[in-house]
């Protein structure tokens, strides 16, 4: 087992409001970005949370990948979002594709501040 888990916390997003509240639009864009990065979507799910006294409800959009997953969560009341991209590198190294995917999803939200992290998971295969 060997993989790369990329995360990003996006603050003060200046994107159109629909990218923070329209679960179907975000999911469709995420699927397109997954494919553009050269990864393989195998399932998808989106959910919009109800409005609250603080403002419109946020969304969660998840794309299950043959390589693992992409997940996006939004908080429109604070113009923020989080995302994670995890790829298993079994059989091939998908790290560059994961980084391209994370960067393209970040660009969708136009954050003014960003905290990004990378976690290398599992053990790299040992040479024979």
Residues labelled as active-site residues: 68, 73, 88
- ∠ CA 37-97-34, nearest 5°, is 35
CB atoms within 10 A of CB 98: 25
- CA-nearest of 19, 20, 12 to 112 is 12
The structure tokens listed for 98 are: 């994961």
């Amino acid at each position: 087992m060997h993989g790369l888990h990329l995360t990003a916390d996006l603050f003060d997003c200046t994107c159109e409001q629909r990218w923070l509240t329209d679960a179907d639009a975000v999911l469709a864009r995420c699927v397109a970005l997954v494919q553009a990065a050269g990864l393989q979507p195998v399932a998808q799910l989106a959910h919009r949370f109800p409005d609250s006294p603080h403002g419109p409800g946020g969304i969660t959009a998840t794309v299950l990948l043959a390589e693992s997953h992409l997940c996006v969560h939004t908080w429109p009341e604070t113009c923020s979002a989080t995302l994670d991209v995890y790829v298993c590198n079994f059989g091939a190294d998908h790290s560059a594709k994961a980084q391209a995917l994370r960067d393209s999803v970040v660009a969708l939200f136009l954050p003014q501040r960003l905290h990004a992290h990378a976690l290398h998971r599992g053990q790299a295969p040992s040479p024979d």
